[in-house]
Chains A and B, each alone.
Chain A
Amino acid sequence: MGPSEAIYSAESQARSPGRTLAAMLGGLRSGRYMGYRLFLRDIRGDYARSRFAVIWDFAEPLVIALVFVSLYQSGVISSGDIDIPYPAFVAFGVLLWQTFVDAITLPLEVPRASRNLITQLKIAPESLLIAVFLRVGFSALFRIAVLLLVALWTNTFHPLGFAAFVALFPALIVCGMAIGVLLAPFNTLYADVGRVVRIVLRPLMFATPVLWAIPRFNFFSYALVLNPAATLITNLRALATQAVLPEPLLLVVTSGVMGVVFVLGWFVFHVSIPILAERV
């Protein structure tokens, strides 16, 4: 078959994994500029309606952080066993958590939000994923800038540690996207999926070391192993503020597992687009 030839049949794409994988990688290549343009379109569209669009990306988590810093300083809550000033702990926690949440929830809505595209144009599904990745990454850039100021203000800034933190930051986005991309096709068919995810995420924040350290040797410490956000947030925060990785093995295992989940989600997303195009 020539490069510009295409065969469409009833056979599931999953029965030709090699060809599907090649199509996924090809889509990643051909969809780069497309994804970038979609990202620019969405960002410019947001900015056309809002003067302070950038601020809103981190205003809510910062307000949450300020509230908890106030509660901490007034003695209402305890931070648990932490090695850095509480304002730095909570600022890193909420901004990393918000990025993780964005990385899950934005892909969930992508097929439905892209209804006009997937029903009218033959585009690489990967371009939609690239656009989401860039959208989450764009917001993350401003959050990282805020965290840099927080680190300087709380005297927890380590140049090398912070540089490594920035380099590893995409892992947090990929980790969140793995879950969002895997569930996105199902959420497109049943909007209940997205509602359940949002309901689960809110209490999960309190069971993750975002606002306080989770004590070891209790139920939550074991649950943390299964909570990829906990591992990533704990390690990224320590890397940025102390230039150490407290749980390197767990970080590697978590990243590896979530990498596999991401590839699986990507595959599911890729093969599901023609099915979703009939039903969105």
Chain B
Amino acid sequence: MSSAVSVRGIRKKYSRRAADHLGYGVRDLLAEILGRRRTQELRPDEFWAVDDVSFEIDNGASFALVGRNGSGKSTLLKLIAGLIRPEAGTIHTRGRIQALIALGAGFNPLLSGRENVFVAGALLGLSRQQTEGLLDAIIDFAEIGDFIDSPVRTYSSGMYARLGFSLAVNLEPDVLLIDEILSVGDFGFQNKCFGRLSQLKKNGITIVLVSHSHTRIIQLCDRALWLHDGKPREIGGAQDVVRSYLDFLDVEKTSATLKPAAKPDAKPAAKPAPATKEAPAQKAAPASDAGESPYGPIHPGDGMVDDVTVEIAHQGLAGGLPMHTQLRLRFSFRLLREVDGLNVTFAFYRVDGLHLTSISTLNGDLAGAIHGGRVEGEIEIDDLHLVPGHYVVVMPIHERHSYLYRGTVAEFVVRGDGALTWGLTDFPHRIEIRRS
């Protein structure tokens, strides 16, 4: 089978501070005009955005580029599309290539959707007759009905993107390059776009996909390349490469976290945290001032609560908690005054601030009136069915519904076991397939 795309030893460099080095552009431009080779050396503030990448994509195959933001995926896609030139190496493409780097390229917001379809069609290489032939299909697919004759500036962002995508996927080029545009519109439209791409694949169109949706990659693509800091890290079957990449992300998160809960709302602990055989305890120190955090308001507990300690009791905590493990949280704090109606809550957040759930004594008024002094307790979670990720525990201590203290008391990482997961939780489940 012949290759639709052949990439050999490609290198591409960029400047981190292009505005400070306008001269680089002029020098590169003059080199191009005068027939000289652009310098292979890295000048100050330059870096290799794509560094020595080689691969082949067979005709009709679907190929994914994965990697973190800034790993060089989009740059590589632009190189394949011929939008920018490499510093070294060769790219050979066969067939009509169409790049979907962004949706609605060439649209004028003052013109109607219909007029913009003709503009964009021309930019994608269609004649007027060809665009007219596709117009109904484009309008139908975009689901914008009578709005096709309204100025594009009146469209919602979803409508705008739907029209752009609809135009692009109705063309059927030989090679389709897609840069992270499958997240447009609502979920229904995303599925529709994905279905259309699957159809294009069945029609024998070669697809090169850049996406952070690992599910989509596995479903659509045969092979994948994982780029890391511009360098190829792994190339192979899409599922294997995505799994390696996700494992890498898990390990990276684990090594970057699991330190004492030194959050913006916390000061260094006054006393060493009590050590256990199972895992180091995490000392929660009161914040100096009340304020906001990604996890809600912070109350340092001045004059009401001190010496808050929370311990995640689990062996091997430092390496990350396995999925579906049993989790125990032991807590201890000292009340500095009499409290009538004490309650303790543990709020679980994803590290980006998404509130997942809370476990609280408010549901049973378990503590009641307490005349000051030390309070200790334990929470047991039988099955921690969170997907792999980095999580934060916030502990409010309150008198009825008024905060006495509220601060970040623990962080933990859930590591994957090799199985693919999606969303927020991984329900304990059993799948049975019956064949008739």
Q: How far is the CA of A36 from the CA of B36 in the complex (A)?
A: 34
Q: How far is the CA of A276 from the CA of B29 in the complex (A)?
A: 8
Inter-chain contact A33/B18, CB cutoff 8 Å: no
B128 interface contact, C-beta 8 A:
yes
Interface residue from A8, A11, A45, A117 paired with B37 (Cβ < 8 Å): A11
B86 interface contact, C-beta 8 A:
yes
A44 interface contact, C-beta 8 A:
yes
A76 interface contact, C-beta 8 A:
no
B contact face: mostly helix, strand, loop, or mixed: mixed
CB neighbours (8 Å) of B105 from chain A are 116-117, 120-121
Binds B, one of A56-64, A160-168, A184-192, A238-246: A184-192
Inter-chain contact B83/A120, CB cutoff 8 Å: yes
Inter-chain contact A9/B89, CB cutoff 8 Å: yes
Q: Which A-B residue pairs are the 7 nearest by beta carbons?
A: A14-B35, A37-B122, A48-B110, A120-B101, A120-B105, A189-B25, A8-B91
A residues sitting closer than 8 Å to B (CB atoms) are 2, 4-15, 30, 33-34, 36-38, 40-42, 44-45, 48-49, 116-123, 185-186, 189-190, 267-268, 271-272, 274-279
B394 interface contact, C-beta 8 A:
no
Inter-chain contact B89/A272, CB cutoff 8 Å: no
B97 interface contact, C-beta 8 A:
yes
Tell me, rounded to whole Å, the shortest Cβ–Cβ distance linking B40 to chain A: 8
Known: A12-B31, A14-B33, A45-B110. A120 touches B25 (CB 8 A): no
Inter-chain contact A12/B110, CB cutoff 8 Å: no
Besides A6-B93, A12-B37, A116-B105, 14 more A-B contacts (Cβ < 8 Å) are A6-B92, A10-B85, A12-B35, A41-B108, A44-B110, A45-B108, A120-B105, A121-B105, A121-B124, A123-B123, A186-B26, A189-B29, A274-B84, A276-B29
- Of all chain B residues, the one with the shortest Cβ separation from A15 is B35
- Of all chain A residues, the one with the shortest Cβ separation from B175 is A4
Tell me, rounded to whole Å, the shortest Cβ–Cβ distance linking B103 to chain A: 9
B87 interface contact, C-beta 8 A:
yes
Tell me, rounded to whole Å, the shortest Cβ–Cβ distance linking A13 to chain B: 7
Q: How far is the CA of A272 from the CA of B27 in the complex (A)?
A: 12
Inter-chain contact A279/B18, CB cutoff 8 Å: yes
CB neighbours (8 Å) of A119 from chain B are 78, 83, 101
Inter-chain contact B85/A275, CB cutoff 8 Å: yes
CB neighbours (8 Å) of B29 from chain A are 185-186, 189, 272, 275-276
Known: A48-B110, A48-B111. A122 touches B97 (CB 8 A): yes
Contact with A along B90-124 (1 / 0, CB 8 A): 11111111010110011010110001101100111
Tell me, rounded to whole Å, the shortest Cβ–Cβ distance linking A22 to chain B: 16
Q: How far is the CA of A160 from the CA of B7 in the complex (A)?
A: 60
Contact with A along B377-404 (1 / 0, CB 8 A): 0000000000000000000000000000
Tell me, rounded to whole Å, the shortest Cβ–Cβ distance linking B391 to chain A: 38
Interface residue from A6, A11, A279 paired with B82 (Cβ < 8 Å): A6
- Of all chain B residues, the one with the shortest Cβ separation from A273 is B83
Inter-chain contact A116/B79, CB cutoff 8 Å: no
**For chain B residues 1-58, which have a beta carbon within 8 Å of chain A?**
14, 18, 22, 25-26, 28-29, 31-38
